[in-house]
Amino acid sequence: MTENLRQTFLSELKEVESREELTNLKIKYLGRKGIIATELKSLSRLPASERPSFGKIINEIKQFIEQDIEIKENSLKKEELNEQLKAESLDVTLRGKFIPFGSQHPINQTLAEIEHIFTKMGFTIEEGPEVELDYYNFEALNIPKDHPARDMQDTFYISEEVLLRTHTSPVQVRVMEKIRPPFRFIAPGKVYRCDADITHTPMFHQIEGLMVDKDISFSHLKGVLEAFLHRMFGAKTPVRFRPSFFPFTEPSAEVDIGCILCSSAGCRVCKGSGWLEILGAGMVNPRVFENVGYNTEEYSGFAFGMGIERIAMLKYSINDIRLFFENDIRFLKQF
């Protein structure tokens, strides 16, 4: 009898295809008035000696049915979930919905990189006006009127005394008028010169740097700028300092790096020399210190300046400076 019950249950279970049918089957066998319950009730009609063994058999069948129904239930649930997941399936290869981040202008990326290196070395950042007095742009920097050094820079004038600054060097004087040494700062910004061709634009960017303390030497100038250039262009980049002339520094130096495009072998960009001029520098001319009332016996310092466009052009292999100011989104997006 018990074996029949088991077989009947199994064949009925086999027919079950939905959770509803399974529930019905469950009620039929395990419900309060179900087959198992009925069998258990019939127990009382048996002689007391047979009851325990028969009871045990019925309980075994009950456990067997419960187990099988649970297994079936789980597998039906899984099937249902699979159906649902299948219905919710997306084409994962379709592009996502997003607004691409904007690109920082390559000039400002280069600027930020340079600023980062110098601020790590303890330099602060200063700014100054772009429309400047002749005094700050030239005279305080030891470039008097009618001096041939003025030919080095073509100037946009607003009036006789007011001009668009031709370099970031006037910030040196403005800061020194305000504070006393020791200090070290950089001053990035826009500068203007009356010039336009494939390598010149009427506006471009420079970074000026100044460090003043007791006993600052030319050797320190070399140390700091070498450290900067090695960070910027790689630790193995050759660096050379050669004499030059700026009215506001004495001694003055032009700083070259080994051409990063041809590894100093000589190419079109370095004009075959293997060297690229990258920045101008020098020990602050005592005349400039005198103009801001510093004691030249007590303090010395070095200053440097570099053009950002040139560095960005080298870094990104850009051959026309005007691309920076056309602001074509296809250009900007590359950075």
Partner 1 sequence: MRIPFEWLKEFINLDVTAKEAAHKLTMLGFEVEAAEIVDNDVVFDVNVTPNRADCLSLIGIARELSAAYRIPLHYPEHDILAESGELDFNVDILDTDLCHRYAGRVVRNLKIGASPDWLRERLEKCGIRSINNVVDITNYVLLEFGHPLHAFDISSIKGHIIRVGTPEDLAVHDIRIKTIDSVEREVPDTCLLIWDAEKPIAIAGIMGGLNTEVNDQTVDVFIESAYFDPVSVRRSSKSLGLKTESSYRFERGADIKALKKALDRAALLMKGIAGGAIYGKIDIYPKRLTQLEIEAKFANINRVLGIELTGEEIFDCLKGLGCEIDKLNDGLKIRPSTNRRDLQRESDIIEEVARHYGYDKIPAELPKATIGISLREDRVQHPVINIKNKLKGSLLKSGFSEVINYSFMGMEDIDLLGIQRDDKRRNALKIKNPLRIEDSYMRTSIIPSLIKNLQHNISHGNREFRLFEISKVFTAKTSLAYKLKTASSSDLLPIEKEHLAAIYYKEKAKSLYKEDAADFYVMKGVIEAIFRDFKIYEYSFMRSSESFLHPGQSADIFINGQNELKIGYIGALSPLIIEALNIKAHKPSVLVMELDIEKIIPFTERCVKYMPLPKYPYIERDTAVMVDISLDASSIITCLKSYPSDLIEESNIFDVYYGPNMPEGKKSVAFNVRYRAMDRTLKDEEIDEVHNSLVEYMLAKTNGVLRQ
By CB under 8 A, what part of segment 157-216 binds partner 1?
Answer: 157-159, 161-162, 164, 175, 178-179, 182-185, 190, 192, 194, 196, 201-203, 211, 213, 215-216
Q: Is 5 or 257 the residue whose CB approaches partner 1 more closely?
A: 257
d(CA 310, CA 276): 10
Give the residue, chosen from 18, 67, 75, 103, that forms a contact with partner 1 under the rule CB under 8 A: 103
236 binds partner 1 (CB under 8 A): no
Minimum distance from CB of 35 to partner 1 (Å)?
48
If the CB atoms of residues 2 and 217 are measured against partner 1, the closer one turns out to be 217
Residue number, 51 or 333, with CB nearest to partner 1:
333
Q: Which of 27, 43, 81, 125 binds partner 1 (CB under 8 A)?
A: 125
For residue 217, the minimal CB distance to partner 1 (Å) is: 3
Do 253 and 281 form a contact (C-beta atoms < 8 A)? Answer: yes
Q: Which is nearer to partner 1, 3 or 297 (CB)?
A: 297
Q: Of 25 and 107, which has the nearer Cβ to partner 1? A: 107
Phi, psi (degrees; rounded to nearest 5) at 168: -85, 0
Q: Which residues 239-278 are close enough to bind partner 1 by CB under 8 A?
A: 240-245, 247, 250-254, 271
Give backbone dihedrals phi and psi of 124, rounded to 5 degrees, phi first: -95, 175
Among 48, 85, 92, 329, binds partner 1 (CB under 8 A): 329
**x/- letters, 10..39, toward partner 1 (CB under 8 A):** ------------------------------
Residue 30 or 262 having the CB closest to partner 1? 262
CA dihedral (8, 10, 11, 17) in degrees, to 10, reads 130
Residue with Cβ nearer partner 1 (40 or 227): 227
Asked if 328 interacts with partner 1 (CB under 8 A), we say yes
| Contact status: 220 vs partner 1 (CB under 8 A) | yes
Exposure of 316 in the CB half-sphere (CA atoms within 13 A): 21
**Residue 324 near partner 1 by CB under 8 A:** yes
Q: How far apart are the two ends of the chain, measured CA to CA in Å?
A: 83
Q: Of 319, 316, 288, 312, whose CA–CA distance to 302 is shortest? A: 288
Overall size of the chain counted in residues: 335
Task: Give the nearest distance from C-beta 331 to partner 1 in angstroms.
Answer: 10
Residue indicated by tokens 């504070």: 179
- Beta carbon of residue 71, minimum distance to partner 1 (angstroms, whole number): 41
Long-range contacts of 285-290 (CB under 8 A, 24+ apart): 285/142, 285/247, 285/248, 285/249, 285/250, 286/250, 287/142, 287/248, 288/140, 288/141, 288/142, 288/172, 288/173, 288/176, 288/248, 289/176
Q: Are 188 and 205 in contact (CB under 8 A)?
A: yes
- Which of 16, 25, 69, 107 is close enough to bind partner 1 by CB under 8 A? 107
8 A C-beta contact, residue 77 and residue 71: no
Collect all residues with Cβ–Cβ distance below 8 Å to 91 and sequence separation of at least 6. Answer: none
Q: How many CB atoms lie within 10 A of CB 144?
A: 11
Cβ closest to partner 1, residue 14 vs residue 97: 97
